[in-house]
Structure 1
C-alpha cells in the first residue's frame, strides 16, 4: 500500500470505487473472509449453547419425572382422607351393635349418634410441602419450555447463513443486534438458574416432610443438603471475587454484574460528594491544611482511575483486564508447563526454544530454571 493511501486511511478519506479497482483495492475477498469468520464464530457459539440446552433438557426431564412422583403422593395431604371416614363410620356401627340391650321386647342402644364430621383443614406442613414441590415442578417445566423455544430461535438465527454475500453479512449483523437487544444470551443464562431454583425448592419440601416424620432421619438429610447447598453458594460467589477462579456459571455472572453495579454506584456517589465539598469550600479537614491537601490528592488519585474504568461485559473481557499485568509470569508458566506436559526434546528445540526468545529475560530465566530442575536426574 502506498504512503498516500495510508494517509487517506488515517484522515478518514477512502479512495473511490474506481480508484480502488485500479489500485488493487478489491474488497470482495475481504468481505468474504469477514463473512466466513463471523459465520464460523456464530456456529461455534450456537453449537455450545445448543449442547448446554440439550444437557439442561435431559436434567429437567429426569428431575420433573422424579418430582412428579413425589407430588402425586403429597397432594393427597391437601384432601380429606375418605378411608379414615369409612373406618370411623364402621367403628361407630360396631359400637352401636355392642351397646344393644333388650328390655321387655324393646331393643335399645346406649351409644349416642355420631355427630357431624368437622370440616377438613390441611396441616401447615402439608401446605408448605406441596407449595415447595409444585413450585419446583413449575420451575423445571418452565426451564424445559424455554430451552425448546431458545433452540427454535437459534435455528432461525442461523437460517440462510451459508451465503457469504454483502447482503447476508448485513442480515447477520441485523439478527445479531436484535439478539443482543432482546436479551437472548440472558434468557439462555436463566435456564440453569431455574433448574437450581427447582432443586432448592425440592430440598426444602423434602426436609419439611422428613422433620414431620422422624427427627433423626431429618437431621442426617439436613446435614447432607446443607453441605451441598453451601458448596453451591461458595462456588457461586467465588468467581466475582477472584478473577482466576474457574467456577464460572450464569448465576456467578449475575452476582458479578450486581457487584459491579454497586461498586459503580459507590464510586459515583463518592465522586459527587468529593466535588461538592471542594467546589463550595466545605473543607472537612480545615484543622490542618497540609493534611487536607494530602487527603484530597489521595482521594482524587483513588477516584480517577475507578471512575474511568468501565464495567466488564463478559468473563473473557474481565480476564483480559487481569492478564495484561501478569503477561511475563504467564509466558514463563506456559512454556514451562508445555515442557512438563510433553517432555519431548524435539518439541523443546522446535517450539519452546524459539518462544523463549520472544519473552522477557527474567521470564525466560525463570522458565529455564523450572525446566532444568524438572529434567535433572532424580527429580
Structure 2
C-alpha cells in the first residue's frame, strides 16, 4: 500500500469530521420534527368530557337504530322492534287522516263564516225601524195641517220608530242565522285545538329511554286516546260544520219566504234534498259497515250503538222486501219465458208424473 502524505491525511480527516457534523445536524432536525409531532398529537388528543359526549351520542344512535331488533338477541328486543315498526305505520296514517280533516274544517269554516256574516249583516235592517217611516209620518202631519185637519195631525205619531218592534218571525230567523255562525266558528276553534292535540301526540308519544320504555310510553299515550274518546271528539268538529250549514239553509229559506215565496222554494227544495240525501247515506252506513259513504256522524252514532237499533228495525223490513222482489222476479220469469206452460194431466204423456200422481189437476210440461 502506498503511504499518504500529511496533507492528504488532513483532508481525509476534515471530510470525516464534516460528515459527522452533517449527520449530527440531520439527527437534530429529526428530533425537532419528532418533538413537533408529539406536540401536535398531544394537542389533538381529546379530553375526558369530549370522550363522554361522543360516547353519549353513540349510545343515542344505537338506541334509535334497528340493529338490535334485526340481530335478534332475545325475544323482547324483537318484539319491541316489530312493535315500533307497526306503531309508526299506524301513527302515520292516523296523523295524516286527522290532520287533513282539520285542514278541511279550517278552510271551509273560514269561507262559510264569511258568507254567513255577510248574510247576517244584510238582515240587520229587519231588526231596526226604517228611518224613512219617520220622515213619511212627519210629511203626513204637515199635509194634514195644511189641509186643516188638526185633529188627525195630532193623533198621528211623529216618531213611529219609538213604538216599532221586530216581528217574532224576524227574531227567529236572526236566532237561527247567529246559531249557524256560532257553530261554524266553534268548529274552526275545535279544528285549531285538534291540530294542537295531534302535534302534541306526534312529538311526545315516545319520550326518551330504551326501546322498551319508549314503546311502553307510546302504548300508554295511545290507550289514553281510546279512553278519552279522542276519535269522537275530533269527528264532532265536522259535524258542527254540517249542522251550521243546515241552519244557514233554514234561515236563508225563511228569510226569503217573508219577502218572495217563489224564490224561497228553490232554497227550501235544495236544503230538503241535501238533508234527505245526507240522512239516507248515514242510515246506509249504520246498517252496512261496508258502505263506502262513511261520514263523521255515522262514526259517532255507531259509537253510541244506534246502528243496533236500526238493524232491529230494518232487518225484518229488508227480508220482506227481498221476498217481494223474489216473488216478483218469479212472476215476471213465468210470464216472459215461452218454454214453460200448464196442461191437464189427462193430455200429458205421463212421463212427468208418477202413476200415483196422474190424478192431479195440472202438471208442468217442458
Contact preservation (8 Å) 1:99, 1:111? no
Matched residue, 1:202: 248
- TM-fit CA distance, 1:110: 6.7
Are 2:296 and 1:250 equivalent residues in the alignment? Answer: yes
For each residue in 1:125-150, what CA deviation from the matched residue of structure 2 results, as whole angstroms up to 9, or x when unmatched? 21121011100001101100001001
Matched, 1:138 2:182: yes
Query: What TM-score results when the alignment is normalised by the length of structure 1?
Result: 0.56
CA distance in 2, matches of 1:149, 1:24: 43
Deviates more, 1:241-250 or 1:28-37: 28-37
Of 167, 172, 175 in structure 1, the residue corresponding to residue 218 of structure 2 is 172
CA distance in 1, matches of 2:307, 2:277: 23
Cα shift at 1:222: 2.2
After superposition, what is the alpha-carbon deviation per residue over 1:201-246, rounded to whole angstroms, capped at 9, x for unaligned? 0111111112111222122332232222221111111111233321
- TM-score normalised over the length of structure 2: 0.58
1:149-186 C-alpha deviation (Å, 9 max, x unpaired): 01101111111457672222222122212222222111
Aligned 8 A contact 2:109 2:185 in 1? yes
Query: Aligned equivalents of 2:150 and 2:310: distance in 1?
Result: 82
Q: CA deviation at 1:28?
A: 2.3
**CA 1:260 to 1:64, structure 2 compared with 1: closer, same or farther past 3 Å?**
same
1:53 aligned to 78, 102, 105, which one? 102
Task: Tell me how large the CA RMSD over aligned residues is.
Answer: 2.7
Kept after mapping to 2: 8 A contact 1:74/1:129: no
SS of equivalent to 2:203? coil
- Report the equivalent of 1:336: none
Cα deviation 1:335-369 (Å, max 9, x = unaligned): xxxxxxxxxxxxxxxxxxxxxxxxxxxxxxxxxxx
Matching residue within 263, 270, 273 for 1:217: 263
Match of 2:131 among 54, 76, 82: 82
Answer yes or no: is 1:236 the counterpart of 2:289. no
Structure 1 residues 262, 221: closer, same or farther in 2, change over 3 A? closer
- Equivalent residue for 1:34, pick from 78, 83, 89: 83
Structure 2 Cα separation of the partners of residues 260 and 89 of structure 1: 65
SS in 2 for 1:112: helix
Please give the residue correspondences for 1:1-379 in structure 2 after superposition, counting only pairs within 5 Å. Answer: 24-25=73-74, 27-96=76-145, 98-99=146-147, 112-113=153-154, 114-115=156-157, 117=160, 119-161=163-205, 165-256=211-302, 257-260=304-307, 262=309
- Larger displacement relative to structure 2 (223-232 or 233-242): 223-232
CA distance in 1, matches of 2:309, 2:99: 33
* Aligned-partner SS, 1:121: coil
d(CA) in 1 for partners of 2:100 and 2:273?
29
Q: Unpaired runs of 5+ in structure 1?
A: 1-22, 101-107, 267-379
Unmatched 5+ stretches in structure 2? 1-71, 314-366
Structure number with larger C-alpha Rg: 2
| CA–CA separation in structure 2 for the residues paired with 1:70 and 1:155 | 35
Distance in structure 1 (CA, Å) of the matches to 2:284 and 2:85: 38
Q: Kindly state the Cα deviation for residue 119 of structure 1 after the two structures are TM-superposed.
A: 2.2
